[in-house]
Amino acid sequence: MLGYGPLDAGLRLLPWTVTLFFCAPVAGALADRFGERPFLAGGLFLQAVGMGWIALIARPDLPYGSMIAPLVVAGCGVSMAIPAVQTSVVGSVAREEIGKAAGINSMMRELGGVFGIAVGVAVFAGAGSLASAERFSNHPSPQGTFHAFPLCSNPG
């Protein structure tokens, strides 16, 4: 990430990941009270807003401070959605099947992450470049997104 080593890059992503410790417990408790649907939809919406914000402002000379707010927004979103999904899955099965449901939910989340990374790598390999930071950020390819969209949007 911008020439930083693994530790420095990881530390710069903390605003996104640390929100899990603050937002997830609150969202989980509120989901028990108000239902999972608003937190799942709202959380995914916030995640999309944060990632879209980063996509709009990304450039090679972007100061790190400009990324903190969108990382927090995206982190709050995913931190709201994860407990809502877990509560919904576990709450929708009989007591004796909770272990299976939790395991399947966990496996599907991991599988989704793997496929998400694979699609992202395929799109980048077909349309991106690591030649320079300027080429990476100044020459987006809508064709790559267009070709990847059917893979992400087809439910089966």
pLDDT one-digit tens code per residue, 107-152? 998 999 899 889 888 877 777 666 666 666 655 554 444 444 444 4
What token pair was written down for 149?
A: 């969209």
Alpha-carbon distance values, 5 to 2, 22, 65 (Å): 9, 27, 18
Q: What is the pLDDT of residue 76?
A: 95
Q: What is the pLDDT of residue 68?
A: 94
Q: CA-to-CA distance for 128 and 146, rounded, in angstroms?
A: 14
Q: In which residue ranges of the chain is pLDDT below 70?
A: 1-2, 128-156
Q: What is the pLDDT of residue 114?
A: 93
Q: What is the pLDDT of residue 152?
A: 46
Q: What is the pLDDT of residue 139?
A: 53
User: pTM for the whole thing?
Assistant: 0.74
- Helix H, strand E, coil C: the string for the chain is CCCCCHHHHHHHCHHHHCHHHHHHHHHHHHHHHHCCHHHHHHHHHHHHHHHHHHHHHCCCCCCCHHHHHHHHHHHHHHHHHHHHHHHHHHHCCCHHHHHHHHHHHHHHHHHHHHHHHHHHHHHHHHHCCCCCHHHHHHCCCHHHHHHHHHHHHCCC
Q: What is the pLDDT of residue 130?
A: 65
What token pair was written down for 13?
A: 């992503």
